[in-house]
A and B are shown apart, each in its own frame.
Chain A
Amino acid sequence: MSDKNNQILEEIGGSDYKYGFYTDIEMDQAPPGLTEDTVRFISAKKNEPDFMLAFRLRAFRHWKTLKEPDWAHVEYPPINYQDLIYYSAPRKRPKYDSLDEVDPELLETFEKLGIPLDEQKMLAGVAVDAVMDSVSVGSTFKKTLAEHGIIFCSFSEALQKHPGLIKKHMGTVVPYTDNYFAALNSAVFSDGSFAYIPKGVKCPLELSTYFRINAAKTGQFERTLIVAEEGSYVSYMEGCTAPIRDENQLHAAIVEIIAHKDAEVKYSTVQNWWPGDKEGKGGVYNFVTKRGICEGDNAKISWTQVETGSAITWKYPSLILKGNNSTGEFYSVAVTNNRQQADTGTKMIHLGKNTKSTIISKGISGGRSNNSYRGLVKTGRKAENARNFSQCDSLLLGDQCGAHTFPYIDVGNRSSIVEHEATTSKISEDQLFYCLQRGIDMEGAIGLIVNGYAKEVLSKLPMEFAVEAQKLLSVNLEGSVG
């Protein structure tokens, strides 16, 4: 460590001491509010390397100069960032001793989703026996990955064990200067996941089928970094189909993906944060920045997302197609019901020659919700023969919901071809009656019709996730048609 760093550390230590909480390392949670001290507290708590703290502080200072964006088609009361708690210990004690104490409505939803009993307990916060089947599953999983030289661990663990890799890649795709929420996340992120696939390795497992439960607990400011070296392949899944209730109303995550030459990354996510009650009270605000870069030639990244939760979703998984002949894909199903609001879509930035991108977006709105697709397709001056195909469909259930499409197209050269198709349709009374007459009740009918509509996207999900996602769509649209 250099003298300069030591000096900085001393300063930090001194100032923290002055405010009186730095020494209390056993504390489970930071006091409410966001200052440089909070940032230092988080970093110290996690025993982070110097560069990490410096990064966080730069991000924090930048964040203070920014204004919260207001261009999205969503409405919510102002957030007081000084009221929030920015760090709490990742593992809390179980809230309940048995499932009998858990809200029956939540259990009913778990039943409908077909979630195994042990998982139900973990998700609802019920104490689970220390030895569980999944623990051994987890270690087998880790052993297989290690044999291939694949790193897959929490972000905190990666900072301890592989600081060089983090330092090299973190913030290169989503710099902290990117936007308000990215700056906030960069300053105070709690934890997240790190995956590293070495050159030429095809990851033999879907990363994170088992880990999804743990991943759901990593807190409100998650950070994911996936690096796929030349010629590697990985399929990564994040999220959880079970509805996650959380006291933290604001969630601002960052996901960064880097695919080098000839590498392929498939990223799938199912997001089902608590959407609040029927009037939208108490739901999670999900403001996420996700971006990938096809760094080398022939690289490929695909995003597949099923968004059913949150009171407000603000999310645009984007791709920078830098390498020649690189490919980007975005498949999305976004469901809104009751008072939910979603403003989601993608950005495809074509920089390399012969780059290709595909966007398939399916919005489904019920109740009094609002669902917007917002997308940008941009081809740079040097992106010769770039091609994009976009299809944005909206399905309306009932007559009090809204569907909106905001496509932006920016073509920078004469040889690019950009296509955009959009449709809006409604579930018809005729379709519903047809199902009823075959003995399928209203709930089942809506489930069938909606799943049929979203099939193109659902078929892109890994098998296990796809089955859960199908059930999820039906469950989330209950009561959406009068």
Chain B
Amino acid sequence: MLTIKDLTVSIHGKTILKGLNLDVKEGEVHAIMGPNGSGKSTLASVIAGRDLFDVDKGEITYMGRNIFDMPAETRAREGLFLGFQYPVEIPGVSIANFMRTAINEKRKHLGLDPLTGAEFLRVMEEKKKMVDIQSKLASRSVNEGFSGGEKKKNEIFQMAMLEPRLAILDETDSGLDIDALKVVANGVNKLRRKDNATIVITHYQRLLDYIIPDFVHVLYDGSIIKSGGKELAVELEEKGYDWVKKEAGAGNAA
């Protein structure tokens, strides 16, 4: 579904990602962990199509197509979803209106008729229940005056509405209390299907108690220096990142 080969990315001449490789298949959940500044959010932004970065080398293939041939909105309509680390406020635009616009743009792209008001409301009610969001959220303006937890839950609600093929959750767990964390994890687990995939970017192992990944990757200084199963996350939690760095350092030296 997503294949990244030798991806090298810089911003203002400073290289952030250095020859990164990753392969994500349908039905899989990948966790990408790593210390601050290792390039996790840059990776998410580049996949989603933010144009702040220069791609110096490498390729990304999404659903068999060169992702760089698609503008950001096309990637989204083709089922790519980014759960933002810092969701932005859009004053005066209700979540319902925002989501209806987004869903109908996607449907248009796929050659489907737009949802009527009634159909949309029915879908919205269903998804709100699914991800356990209180009903009043939808009539509020997008993220305006939301608490940190509400913003993240709103990201999960949008993910449920848009039913992505590939969802990337960028530090969705940061700043959440345990209850909000459970809501987020529960949403992700309920949306998990055989034909979609999720990349969970996180700093802490905590979220991975609730979302069980198939693969765990350690991103350090712009590349993935270690990959393993879910037990790697536990090991990182116990021992920190230093031993992986040393191991990788030793590997490079040899």
A binding-site residues for B, Cβ under 8 Å: 428, 430-431, 433-442, 444, 448-449, 451-456
Contact = CB atoms under 8 A, between A and B. Distances in A.
Given A444-B105, A448-B98, A452-B141, A436 B90 contact: no
A469 to B, nearest CB: 14
Contacts of B216: none
B92 A452 contact: yes
Contacts of A449: 90, 93
A415 B92 CA distance: 35
Contacts of A434: 84, 87-88, 90
Given A436-B49, A437-B82, A438-B76, A455 B102 contact: no
Contacts of B87: 434
Contact of B92 (A440, A441, A444, A456): A456
A439 B48 CA distance: 11
B77 interface: yes
B88 A431 contact: yes
B104 to A, nearest CB: 9
Contacts of B93: 448-449, 451-452
A440 B98 CA distance: 9
B217 interface: no
Interface in B48-65: 48-50
Interface in B95-123: 97-99, 101-102, 105-106, 109
Contacts, number: 71
A438 B91 contact: no
B101 A453 contact: no
Given A448-B101, A452-B141, A437 B48 contact: yes
Nearest to A452: B92
B76 A437 contact: yes
Interface of B: 48-50, 71-73, 76-77, 81-82, 84, 86-93, 97-99, 101-102, 105-106, 109, 141, 158, 162
B39 to A, nearest CB: 18
Nearest first, the 10 A-B pairs at minimum CB distance are: A452-B92, A452-B93, A439-B76, A455-B92, A438-B102, A436-B72, A439-B77, A430-B88, A439-B105, A436-B73
Given A434-B84, A448-B98, A441 B73 contact: yes
A448 B90 contact: yes
Given A438-B76, A439-B109, A444-B105, A431 B90 contact: yes
Contacts of B99: 438
A434 B71 CA distance: 13
Contacts of B102: 435, 438-440
Contacts of A431: 88-90
Given A430-B86, A449-B90, 6 more contacts: A430-B88, A434-B84, A435-B98, A439-B73, A444-B101, A449-B93
Contacts of B109: 439
A451 B92 contact: yes
Nearest to A433: B50
B72 A437 contact: yes
A453 B105 contact: no
A435 B106 CA distance: 12
A441 B105 contact: yes
Contacts of B49: 436-437
Contacts of A430: 86, 88
A434 B88 CA distance: 7
A32 B129 CA distance: 71
Chain B CB within 10 Å — which of A439, A441, A456 has the most? A439
Nearest to A434: B88
A438 B162 contact: yes
A289 B125 CA distance: 50
A440 B49 CA distance: 13
A449 B142 CA distance: 10
A433 to B, nearest CB: 6
A358 B175 CA distance: 41
Contact of A452 (B76, B88, B90): B90
A442 B72 CA distance: 10
A355 to B, nearest CB: 30
Nearest to A448: B93
B158 A438 contact: yes
10 contacts: A434-B84, A434-B88, A436-B49, A438-B99, A438-B102, A439-B102, A440-B101, A444-B101, A452-B92, A453-B91
A438 B92 contact: no
Contacts of B76: 436-439
Contacts of A437: 48-49, 72-73, 76, 81-82, 84
B50 A440 contact: no
Contacts of A451: 92-93
Nearest to B93: A452
A391 to B, nearest CB: 13
B203 to A, nearest CB: 21
A428 B158 CA distance: 21
Contacts of A444: 101, 105
A444 B108 CA distance: 13
B117 to A, nearest CB: 13
Nearest to A447: B101
A431 B89 CA distance: 7
A119 B238 CA distance: 72
Contact of B98 (A438, A442, A453): A438
Contacts of B88: 428, 430-431, 434
Chain B CB within 10 Å — which of A430, A433, A437, A455 has the most? A437
A440 B91 contact: no
